[in-house]
Amino acid sequence: MTGYHGQPILKQPTWTWEVPCYFYAGGMAGASAGLAYLSEVRGNEVLARRAWAAALLGIGVSPGLLISDLGRPERFLNMLRMFKITSPMSVGSWVLSASGATTALAATSIWTGWFPRAGGAARPAAALLGLPLSTYTAALIANTAVPVWHESRRWLPFVFSSGAALSAGAAGVITTPPEHARPARRLALGAAVFEVVVKQLMERRLAEHGEPYRHAAASRFGRVGQLCIATGASLLAARGGRSRVAAIAGGALLSGGALSARWSVYKAGAQSAADPKYTVGPQRAAIDRGDRLGASRRLGKVRDPSPAIGSPATAPAVVREQESVARP
């Protein structure tokens, strides 16, 4: 199947490399804000300061990545002209803006001591906004017509949240001395297991729709991500608590694995949209099973003639003529 008269049924996503990088950076920013606030509450100021710095770095580059993909800065500002609760893009634009403001204020306050009262209010707000910031991109791509994304709408939020936690934990492990980085190590190791398991479950539950994850670029990025996550988690678990070098190496591998996993999801969407069988095949199967009516039926359902209706096709004279013809 090559499409409709040689044309693809769906247009492939026009997003460029900035979008999967934004998936990673935004997720790291949101999860790092939560890690920073909880570390501060528990009295781990060393980890909290570095996690706030990671959150500020992630939230700082995110608008630049989006504007670079959009092409013009005013296009990002135009998304803030209204707030539409049913639009993941509208909600996400406002969440990104609010999270950026609160994270910048929180990080500035904790690093410089300025604005203590405003910073104290901004820190829990940034941590709270980090939750939707880490996962709204999953709702954004699941709300499209791309088959592999739309069919995995129940799984993508878990995949993206685990990836965000993994990247935040990895950033904390890289920047924090091992004696203060225990919460970040636990977060990174737990998220690494969850990331691999939930992504594998998603691909299996997708059945035919999950085929793009096993072919071409999506498969390559997926394998690289799993290898980096497995190697980084093993190194971090074995020596990350004693060796700063091992912690940095393990954290870098975990961070690379999280980024590669986001690229795998991005490439799978493009491959799914390019192949019409992922659009037409499942729809036909659903019609055959009776799950959907479809726009038309391949086998017409003709009822027995009813003279009482009085239509030309079922008028008494026509019915008698059809019965006479049918007699041997």
Write out pLDDT tens, residues 97-138.
999 999 999 999 999 989 999 999 999 999 999 999 999 999
How far the first Cα of the chain sits from its last, in Å, is 46
Q: Give residue 277's pLDDT.
A: 77
Q: Please check the confidence at residue 239 and state whether its pLDDT lies above 80.
A: yes
Picking from 272, 264, 187, the residue whose alpha carbon sits closest to that of residue 227 is 264
Output the average pLDDT for the chain: 87
Q: What is the dihedral of CA 92, 93, 98, 99, to 10 degrees?
A: 60
Q: Please check the confidence at residue 300 and state whether its pLDDT lies above 90.
A: no
Rounded CA-CA distance 19/291 in Å is 35
Picking from 228, 245, 247, the residue whose alpha carbon sits closest to that of residue 236 is 247
Q: Of the ranges 136-145, 238-247, 274-283, 317-326, which one carries the lowest mean pLDDT score?
A: 317-326
pLDDT digits (tens, 9 = 90+) for 45-83: 999 999 999 999 999 999 999 888 888 888 888 888 888
Instruction: Name, in order, each residue with C-beta under 8 angstroms of 15's C-beta and a sequence gap of 6 or more.
Output: 69, 266
Q: Give residue 278's pLDDT.
A: 77
Q: Give residue 5's pLDDT.
A: 62
Q: Give residue 328's pLDDT.
A: 56
Query: Going by CATH, does the domain composed of 18-282 fall within 1.20.1630.10?
Result: yes
Rounded CA-CA distance 60/66 in Å is 11
Q: Of the ranges 138-152, 185-199, 265-279, which one carries the lowest mean pLDDT score?
A: 265-279
Of 319 and 146, the one with more pLDDT = 146
Q: Give residue 38's pLDDT.
A: 96
Q: Give residue 9's pLDDT.
A: 77
Rounded CA-CA distance 220/235 in Å is 23
182 contacts 46 by C-beta, under 8 angstroms? no
pLDDT digits (tens, 9 = 90+) for 160-203: 999 999 999 999 999 999 999 999 999 999 999 999 999 999 99
Q: Please check the confidence at residue 318 and state whether its pLDDT lies above 60.
A: no
Q: Please check the confidence at residue 225 and state whether its pLDDT lies above 70.
A: yes
